[in-house]
């Protein structure tokens, strides 16, 4: 297929790894990566090798899903190997060939597969499985007039005008037969702004971001506290991986063709830690405003009242409602001093938004319509999220309570699980 016009095959997975372990902010940088290896990965691997059947059974059971178990079949209990029938051409995360391959939205002259990813001789033909002569992006990925918001799953929204596009927290499926959600195929050719709300593994998803790197104008990342030398910097992390990044303080404004974005305060969600690198966003486009509230809690009404004073009322509010919240050690175990960590873990959970808090936010912002993305109810992002919601969970009860309040007060409200679109 040398020197032919080809489309990238976006159903192909891209799995970023650091020494065969999943790449994210706790493993890419050397210091936290070392702590994760010593305190979490090695003990986890040793546990699996001693009793692989325990891990296999735990992954079949939805109750402990998301715990520290390896999802590897017993017959593959050996050093990491790629799953059967999955092409695995090697590349660096800084590879321009990856951008050329994944960034193809219209036919381009890719050249030979060897030129694209520069594999070794044994894998020279594998990139042929990653491209196609006939695949084509769907025409509905752009809008011709007015404004449009699409829900892509988890906390990902795509907000578009005919001239520009904004994407929030891009965690997007590759389109492997999906019929109930939008995928990478449905994204516009160019994304002016990517808005990152905070540094958790379901918000900075390198599997998605690396496939978009050549198509992003700017990533807006919340600025970390300059007074906290140990705080993680989302902007630095993404910049080191080759992304165009600008860091935002509260009420910084950024424009894109057809609209603007204002960074707004984010409250809570980090288990009572002094974490500052997080932001919500206020997006204006085509005459309407949307508040992207992500996982921010309503523990203090003052910031939301200030948002309304500065920016007005919101036509749409998109809120995340977590279950009771994961214990502190679920995300930060390897980075904490071990002495006493388990003792304080459950008392420092990352609580989500309650119905009462959501109502307060809506009231303070004068929201016209409210949409909730329940954490964990979608099956496709389970590689980074735990479990599915059900009628008996705290989360489900809080969402039902919020839906009833909205119905009683004449406010349109829905829970988001599958794809949805708003047009005007």
What is this structure's pTM? 0.81
What would the DSSP string read from start to end of 212-236?
Answer: HGGGEEEEEEEPPPTT-TTS--HHH
Domains and CATH numbers, the chain: 5-132 (no CATH), 139-423 (3.60.15.10)
Contacts of 398-402 with CB under 8 Å at 24 or more apart are 398/321, 398/352, 398/353, 398/354, 398/355, 398/358, 399/321, 399/355, 399/372, 399/374, 401/355, 402/321, 402/355, 402/358, 402/359, 402/370, 402/372
Angle between helices 52-60 and 42-50 (to 10 degrees): 100
pLDDT at res. 36: 84
CB 235 within 8 A of CB 259: no
pLDDT at res. 229: 45
Distance of CA 10 to the CA centre of its chain: 18
Residue owning tokens 């948002």: 307
Could you tell me the end-to-end alpha-carbon distance of the chain, in angstroms, rounded to an integer?
A: 44
Model pLDDT for residues 158-216, shown as the tens digit of each residue: 999 999 999 999 988 776 556 678 888 889 989 999 999 988 777 888 888 888 888 89
Q: Return the HEC string of 149-181.
A: EEEEECCEEEEECCCCEEEECCCCCCCCCCCCC
Contacts of 248 (CB under 8 A, 6+ apart): 220, 221, 222, 223, 254, 263, 279
Q: State how far the alpha carbon of 232 is from the alpha carbons of 32, 86, 393, in Å.
A: 10, 34, 32
C-alpha–C-alpha distance, residues 49 and 62, integer Å: 22
What would the DSSP string read from start to end of 291-321?
Answer: EEEET---S-SHHHHHHHHHH---SEEEEEE
Sign of CA dihedral 199, 203, 205, 211: negative
C-alpha–C-alpha distance, residues 110 and 265, integer Å: 43
CA dihedral 66, 174, 32, 195 (to 10 degrees): -110
Number of residues that make up the chain: 424
Residue owning tokens 């196609």: 132
C-alpha–C-alpha distance, residues 219 and 123, integer Å: 33
Which residues share a beta bridge with 222? 248
DSSP state of 243: -
SS3 percent helix, strand, coil of the chain, rounded to 5, is 30, 20, 50
DSSP state of 259: E
Model pLDDT for residues 74-122, shown as the tens digit of each residue: 777 676 566 666 656 566 777 676 776 665 544 444 454 445 555 555 5
Query: Which residues of the chain register pLDDT less than 50?
Result: 1-2, 105-110, 112-114, 124, 126, 229-230, 271-272
């Amino acid at each position: 297929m040398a020197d032919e016009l080809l489309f990238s095959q976006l159903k192909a997975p891209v799995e970023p790894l650091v020494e065969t372990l999943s790449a994210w902010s706790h493993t890419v940088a050397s210091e936290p990566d070392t702590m994760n290896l010593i305190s979490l990965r090695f003990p986890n691997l040793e546990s699996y090798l001693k009793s692989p059947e325990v891990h296999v059974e735990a992954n079949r059971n939805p109750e402990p899903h998301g715990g520290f178990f390896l999802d590897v079949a017993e017959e593959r209990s050996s050093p990491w190997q790629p799953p059967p029938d999955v092409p695995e051409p090697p590349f660096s995360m800084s590879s321009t060939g990856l951008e050329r391959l994944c960034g193809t939205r219209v036919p381009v002259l890719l050249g030979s597969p060897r030129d694209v990813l520069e594999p070794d001789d044994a894998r020279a033909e594998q990139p042929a499985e990653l491209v196609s002569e006939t695949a084509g992006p769907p025409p509905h990925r752009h809008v011709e007039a007015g404004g449009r918001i699409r829900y892509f799953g988890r906390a990902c929204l795509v907000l578009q005008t005919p001239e520009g596009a904004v994407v929030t927290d891009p965690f997007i499926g590759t389109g492997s037969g999906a019929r109930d959600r939008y995928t990478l195929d449905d994204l516009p050719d160019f994304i002016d702004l990517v808005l990152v709300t905070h540094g958790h593994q379901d918000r900075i998803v390198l599997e998605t971001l690396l496939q978009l790197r050549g198509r992003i104008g700017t990533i807006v990342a919340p600025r970390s506290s300059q007074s906290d030398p140990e705080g993680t910097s989302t902007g630095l992390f993404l910049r080191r991986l080759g992304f165009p990044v600008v860091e935002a303080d509260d009420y910084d404004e950024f424009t894109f063709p057809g609209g603007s974005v204002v960074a707004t305060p984010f409250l809570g969600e980090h288990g009572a830690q002094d974490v500052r690198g997080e932001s919500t966003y206020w997006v204006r486009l085509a005459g309407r405003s949307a508040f992207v509230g992500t996982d921010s809690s309503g523990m203090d009404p003052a910031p939301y009242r200030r948002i309304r004073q500065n920016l007005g009322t919101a036509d749409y509010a998109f809120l995340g409602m977590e279950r009771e919240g994961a214990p502190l050690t679920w995300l930060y175990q390897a980075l904490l001093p071990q002495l006493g960590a388990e003792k304080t873990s459950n008392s420092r959970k990352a609580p989500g938004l309650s119905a009462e808090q959501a109502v307060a936010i809506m009231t303070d912002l004068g929201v016209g319509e409210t949409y909730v993305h329940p954490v964990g109810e979608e099956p496709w992002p389970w590689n980074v999220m735990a479990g599915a919601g059900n009628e008996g969970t705290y989360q489900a009860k809080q969402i039902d309570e919020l839906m009833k309040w909205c119905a009683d007060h004449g406010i349109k409200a829905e829970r988001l699980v599958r794809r949805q679109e708003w047009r005007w």
